[in-house]
Homo-oligomer: A and B are copies of this chain.
Amino acid sequence: MYIYADNAATTKPSQTAIDAMVSCLKEVYGNPSSLHSAGQKAAEVLFQARVDVAQAIGADFNEIYFTSGGSEADNQAIRSAALTGARRGKKHLVSTKIEHHAVLHTLDKLENEGFEVTLLEVGPDGIVKVEDVEKAIRPDTALVTIMYANNEIGTIQPITEIAALCREKKVVFHTDAVQAVGHLPINVHDQQIDMLSLSGHKFHGPRGVGALYVRKGIPLRNLIEGGAQERGKRAGTENLPAIVGMAAALKEAVANMEENSKTVTALRDRLIKGLSHIDHSRLNGDPVKRLPGNVNFVFEGIEGESLLLLLDDKGIAASSGSACTSGSLDPSHVLLSIGLPHEVAHGSLRLSLDESMTEEEIDYIVNAVPEVVAYLRDISPVWEDLVKGDKDYVIQ
């Protein structure tokens, strides 16, 4: 048995997505920019995929720019809005401390280039306050960029309220919705979102493809220069097989969203309940305002990587915000942002579920995790100190 509970990292491509890709690879080999019929057939397929992706998020087809993934979409959106703002003397950018590195590192770079960046704190629940966003916006704010849902702790941000606020204040609003699209209902027009990033491989589509939605009227600058693809805004021969795979997966995800969401939320809550029995542990992130598939716990006294590896030996694929998984010494910036001290943040575990999972699998995880945690605590000098009372528990 192998239980894949790392769907926030990447999902298995669905059969629908694979079939769409294979038929494209075999039959739609033309370049959409070519005038001959092989090329024009490809152009039609590309157009249909654009329409499908647009519909899935309530956008118009000509507001969709295909990219190589979520990171590129984030980079282009933020850099574009920043440079456009700078032309008008606006060099202030607002975001949060819990963004993905694709956002944070782009902001870092812009800071080095002379922009001023305000990174908002989130509460212990992992949610940013709308009034904090309001307070942060200044006359020279060029962009507010706040993720739709967090990739580590799954918390859903008050995007509709923030977008409305930005619209009112006439500030461009971008959201990294990589973890949300295909999982939460989104309508960019109704929600007044100006720019939105999505990535194919987070909803059972392929990797290496994503999209940036840019509302009509919002200027977009190139990150990649060259040919006139994507209406001149993103050069490079279109990754058609991946684009149609993504469109097919997204269509499917949106069609089944309600049902999937119910299934996955039930599994999630069963898992959360099961793991809550472990003493000196805590669920990270808001219990309700969270992605249907996200479970993130912290267990005092142990370190995440060994937990992962031992769970993997038991056939469970999971993930951790421990620093050791990444080669850094600092644990995840998200866990630190919600107030976990370093030593505790090292002991985190993320289990991200999907609709293919069963209650049996959840119960298997619920049995396996406490065993591994108990073993690791048993060999942990940190736990020894806690038990002996030489140190105080952080998590009661």
- A contact residues vs B (CB 8 Å cutoff): 2, 4, 6, 9-13, 18, 21-22, 25-26, 29-31, 33-39, 68-72, 74-75, 100-103, 105-106, 108-109, 199, 201, 206-209, 223-228, 235-242, 305, 308-309, 311-312, 316-320, 325-327
Contact = CB atoms under 8 A, between A and B. Distances in A.
B207 A241 contact: yes
Contacts of A18: 22, 25-26
B36 A224 contact: no
A239 B237 contact: no
Contact of A208 (B10, B22, B33, B68): B68
19 contacts: A4-B29, A9-B33, A9-B237, A10-B29, A13-B26, A34-B319, A68-B239, A69-B239, A72-B224, A75-B223, A75-B226, A75-B235, A101-B226, A101-B227, A207-B239, A207-B241, A208-B236, A208-B239, A228-B326
A223 B222 CA distance: 11
A34 B12 contact: no
A29 B200 CA distance: 13
B317 A100 contact: no
B25 A235 contact: no
A35 B305 contact: yes
Contacts of A10: 29-31, 34, 237
A59 to B, nearest CB: 22
Contacts of A71: 224-227, 235-237
Given A72-B224, A312-B35, A206 B25 contact: yes
A224 B34 contact: no
Nearest to A234: B71
A-B pairs with lowest CB-CB distance, top 9:
A208-B239, A102-B226, A68-B68, A71-B236, A105-B225, A36-B317, A71-B226, A36-B312, A10-B31
Contact of A223 (B102, B223, B318): B223
A312 B37 CA distance: 7
Nearest to A311: B36
A177 B4 CA distance: 40
Nearest to A40: B312
Contacts of A38: 2, 4, 6, 317
A26 B33 CA distance: 30
A209 B105 CA distance: 23
Contacts of A6: 30-31, 34, 36, 38-39
